[in-house]
Chain A
Amino acid sequence: MRFIPQRPGERVKVLTSGPDAVAVTRHIGEPSHVAFDDGSQVAATCVNCPTTPCIRYRPDELGQETGLDITYSPDERVCAFDAISDPTGTQTPEIDTVACTGCGLCVTRCPVGAIHLTDSGIAAVNTAPNDRFQFGTTYSADEFREMTVSLAEMLLAPTASDVLRDGYLAARLAAVIRSVREAPNARNTFNVLVRNYVIALGMPAKVGVAGDTSSRVDMVFASDGTVGIAELEPGEDLLDAVRRLLADTAIAISRSGARRDALLAVIVTGRLPNARSGYFELISDVEAILALRIHTLPVAVLMLANDAGVRIGPSDLDRYFVVNQEIKSLIEDAGMVLRDPSLHLDGLGLTPGK
């Protein structure tokens, strides 16, 4: 099968013949390195995927039957801040450095590691051809897909110390929170951001349309027969998120026949709860009285998991990502969300690298 350009001049890059690639290693502050079996290496570069996965999802990536009767947002954007686009129409992504918050989602969407996080905490894409990656038109769509898939399988996440360098994660998180708050539709922006992180973790997820009353639940996600119900709270009102989640859970159990033990109830928070708010006390009351465990998932953990290339399922969520009073104190001691490089990823149940 020959690749048929959709538009005049449309072309992709391909790996030229030569030594095989063996690893693609991501870094912070510089483009990824593609290493070959003869010891040579080049910078990873954008190969101009026709479907631009760094910019949008395929519809099948956003679909998942959960049996819950809510209206979902069809938003296909990878970037909740509209900071990545293809202005020339040549499948060459460009990053808007003002809008970019460094959330890291486009970075992990790229199958060939062509997007990286800079030292200043935003995304950058390398698009220049090099010795091994060059524009070509005489190849097949299957061959192109095979190339991207095999490179994707060789991707190695940045090292823990790289990701957890002092203040780096905190700065990106602050930028994300600020941009959510300043967005024209803050709730919607947050919804899309969180959904995309959860998809990056390997769990298909759908979010409701903010403000639409038939979108009762903020987010549903599913994996391994477990249905996850989540309320997403970008602001401070976490107690309200608990109340909404209790109502969501009651409705899911009552109307969809979901079993309490097959439900995963999650609150995704922009910031960790204020100690005085009584949030963790309420969570433990809910567990004691309603036999329902609510998992608190800060965006910081989602960001970190995405950076580390971790793919997890609901049972991991139960085991590793329950943020309770203990872990919260640990995080606070580390000084505003994971600034301490010694708080290595294993401590949170995350193992770097794919």
Chain B
Amino acid sequence: MEALVRSSLHEPGRFVDASGATIESTCLNCPGQFCHRFAEAELPIVATHDARTVCPVSAISFTSGNQELLIDDACFGCGLCVMRCPYGSLFMDDSGHPAMSAIPAQYFTPVAATEFEAFDSALDRRSAVPPADMEATLRGLMDGLRPLQQEKFYRLVGNLLTAIGMPTLVSRHGDTSNRMDAVVVDARQSVPVEIKSPSEVDSVNVKSVQQALENKVIMESRAPYLAEPMTTSLAIGYLPAADRSDVSELIEDIHRAFGINIGVIDLPALYALVWDKYIALRKIDTAAIRELKGVLP
């Protein structure tokens, strides 16, 4: 197998060999188990088991030998596991949940871990998804997220951020001692995150920006996470802000008055970053996001 081509989130990827013959991808039992675990390197902090799980509601598991994909009723179709699989073996079915190709596993040969690594590094991954499809696919994913309650939405946002290379700890639901909703943990540039679930409010507004400012003040003053003055404080919401100019103006005022950066990311923009990294196979500039000022375009 020479290449892996992804054409859509709604069907598995296809492996292509030198002669051009293709075969549908299926679960390869990869050592990393990327669809449902974050690697240690992705979470360079002491994390609970919860934080290691890609699925915000731990809804994904496999039968032994990864013969069958099991999706719990808790699955709300965020699509993260599907995007995470490095071999395109998962896809979103018509019901909006992940599924795996039924191709019999005997088409694939078990190999030792080192051989698998060699195969993985040599694999030429290609994205063949038309741009219009990306928007339609992501919109479909996000429609399913509207009814999400706070706790699940917070977890989802935390996992999306971790997935793009910004490892995030989400505070436990109901933990009032933890004033921040979440923190992107870093040795030098930790980022407080204010999360607005669709059940609270449709999008980030002026109040959320105020809360992000408060978070930054508390972080600088008290929290055990280090940040630099220009490290941003984020507010993440569901839809793009309706009163976008009010939000942008306040962010500008805060920057001019206090020298503090507040960044706003709506869910479509966050999903676009995840897509960029895993499907379009582009590099994400997380350093720029860590100093974001204003609304992420």
Interface residues of A (CB under 8 A from B): 239-240, 242-244, 246-247, 249-255, 260, 278, 281-282, 284-286, 288-290
Q: Are A246 and B210 in contact (CB under 8 A)?
A: yes
A-B contacts, 9 listed (Cβ < 8 Å): A243-B214, A246-B213, A247-B254, A253-B253, A253-B257, A260-B257, A282-B218, A288-B220, A290-B258
| Distance A251 CA – B213 CA, assembled complex (angstroms) | 13
Q: Are B207 and A289 in contact (CB under 8 A)?
A: no
List the B side residues contacting A242 at CB < 8 Å: 214
List the A side residues contacting B254 at CB < 8 Å: 246-247, 250, 254
On chain B, the number of residues with a Cβ less than 8 Å from chain A's Cβ atoms is 21
Q: Are A247 and B258 in contact (CB under 8 A)?
A: no
Q: Are B221 and A250 in contact (CB under 8 A)?
A: no
List the B side residues contacting A239 at CB < 8 Å: 214
Q: Are B253 and A286 in contact (CB under 8 A)?
A: no
Q: Which residue of B lies closest to A263 (CB)?
A: B257
Residue from A247, A252, A282, A286 having most chain B Cβ neighbours under 10 A: A247
List the A side residues contacting B218 at CB < 8 Å: 282, 285
Residue from A240, A246, A286 having most chain B Cβ neighbours under 10 A: A246
Picked from A244, A253, A255, A289, the residue with its CB within 8 Å of the CB of B221 is A289
Contact flag A247-B206 (CB < 8 Å), given A253-B256, A290-B258? yes
Picked from A244, A254, A278, A284, the residue with its CB within 8 Å of the CB of B256 is A254
Q: Are B217 and A254 in contact (CB under 8 A)?
A: no
Contact flag A251-B250 (CB < 8 Å), given A243-B207, A243-B211? yes
Q: How far is the CB of A190 from chain B (nearest CB, A)?
A: 20
Interface residue? B202 (CB, 8 A): no
Name the prevailing secondary structure of the B interface residues.
helix
Q: Are A254 and B257 in contact (CB under 8 A)?
A: yes
Q: Nearest 10 A-B pairs (CB), nearest first?
A: A243-B210, A253-B257, A285-B221, A254-B253, A254-B256, A250-B257, A250-B253, A250-B254, A289-B220, A289-B217
| Distance A250 CA – B217 CA, assembled complex (angstroms) | 14
List the A side residues contacting B250 at CB < 8 Å: 247, 250-251
| Distance A130 CA – B254 CA, assembled complex (angstroms) | 62
Q: How far is the CB of A291 from chain B (nearest CB, A)?
A: 9
List the A side residues contacting B257 at CB < 8 Å: 249-254, 260
List the B side residues contacting A255 at CB < 8 Å: 253
**What 7 additional pairs, Cβ within 8 angstroms, besides A247-B206, A255-B253, A288-B220?**
A246-B213, A246-B217, A249-B257, A252-B257, A282-B217, A285-B222, A290-B217
| Distance A305 CA – B266 CA, assembled complex (angstroms) | 48
Q: Which residue of A lies closest to B252 (CB)?
A: A254
| Distance A284 CA – B217 CA, assembled complex (angstroms) | 10
List the B side residues contacting A249 at CB < 8 Å: 257
Residue from A243, A250, A286 having most chain B Cβ neighbours under 10 A: A250
Q: How far is the CB of A325 from chain B (nearest CB, A)?
A: 16
List the B side residues contacting A253 at CB < 8 Å: 253, 256-257
Contact flag A247-B221 (CB < 8 Å), given A254-B253, A255-B253? no
Interface residue? B209 (CB, 8 A): yes
Contact flag A251-B221 (CB < 8 Å), given A242-B214, A246-B213, A278-B179? no
| Distance A347 CA – B17 CA, assembled complex (angstroms) | 87
List the B side residues contacting A240 at CB < 8 Å: 207
List the A side residues contacting B179 at CB < 8 Å: 278
List the B side residues contacting A252 at CB < 8 Å: 257
List the B side residues contacting A251 at CB < 8 Å: 250, 253, 257
| Distance A240 CA – B208 CA, assembled complex (angstroms) | 11
Q: Are A250 and B258 in contact (CB under 8 A)?
A: yes
List the A side residues contacting B206 at CB < 8 Å: 247
List the B side residues contacting A278 at CB < 8 Å: 179
Q: Are B214 and A247 in contact (CB under 8 A)?
A: no
Q: Are B213 and A243 in contact (CB under 8 A)?
A: yes
Q: How far is the CB of A287 from chain B (nearest CB, A)?
A: 9
Contact with A along B172-189 (1 / 0, CB 8 A): 000000010000000000
List the B side residues contacting A290 at CB < 8 Å: 217, 258
Q: How far is the CB of A195 from chain B (nearest CB, A)?
A: 23
Q: How far is the CB of B228 from chain A (nearest CB, A)?
A: 13
Contact with A along B190-234 (1 / 0, CB 8 A): 000000000000000011011101101110111000000000000
Q: Are A282 and B214 in contact (CB under 8 A)?
A: yes
Q: Are B217 and A247 in contact (CB under 8 A)?
A: no
Q: Which residue of A lies closest to B214 (CB)?
A: A243
List the A side residues contacting B253 at CB < 8 Å: 247, 250-251, 253-255
List the B side residues contacting A254 at CB < 8 Å: 252-254, 256-257
| Distance A180 CA – B222 CA, assembled complex (angstroms) | 36
Q: Are B222 and A247 in contact (CB under 8 A)?
A: no
Contact flag A247-B209 (CB < 8 Å), given A282-B217, A289-B220? yes
Q: Which residue of A lies closest to B221 (CB)?
A: A285
Picked from B207, B211, B217, the residue with its CB within 8 Å of the CB of A286 is B217
| Distance A81 CA – B217 CA, assembled complex (angstroms) | 38
| Distance A246 CA – B218 CA, assembled complex (angstroms) | 13
List the A side residues contacting B211 at CB < 8 Å: 243
| Distance A252 CA – B256 CA, assembled complex (angstroms) | 10
Q: Are A247 and B256 in contact (CB under 8 A)?
A: no
Q: Which residue of B lies closest to A246 (CB)?
A: B213
Contact with A along B69-91 (1 / 0, CB 8 A): 00000000000000000000000
Q: How far is the CB of B262 from chain A (nearest CB, A)?
A: 10
Q: How far is the CB of B50 from chain A (nearest CB, A)?
A: 26
Q: How far is the CB of A349 from chain B (nearest CB, A)?
A: 28
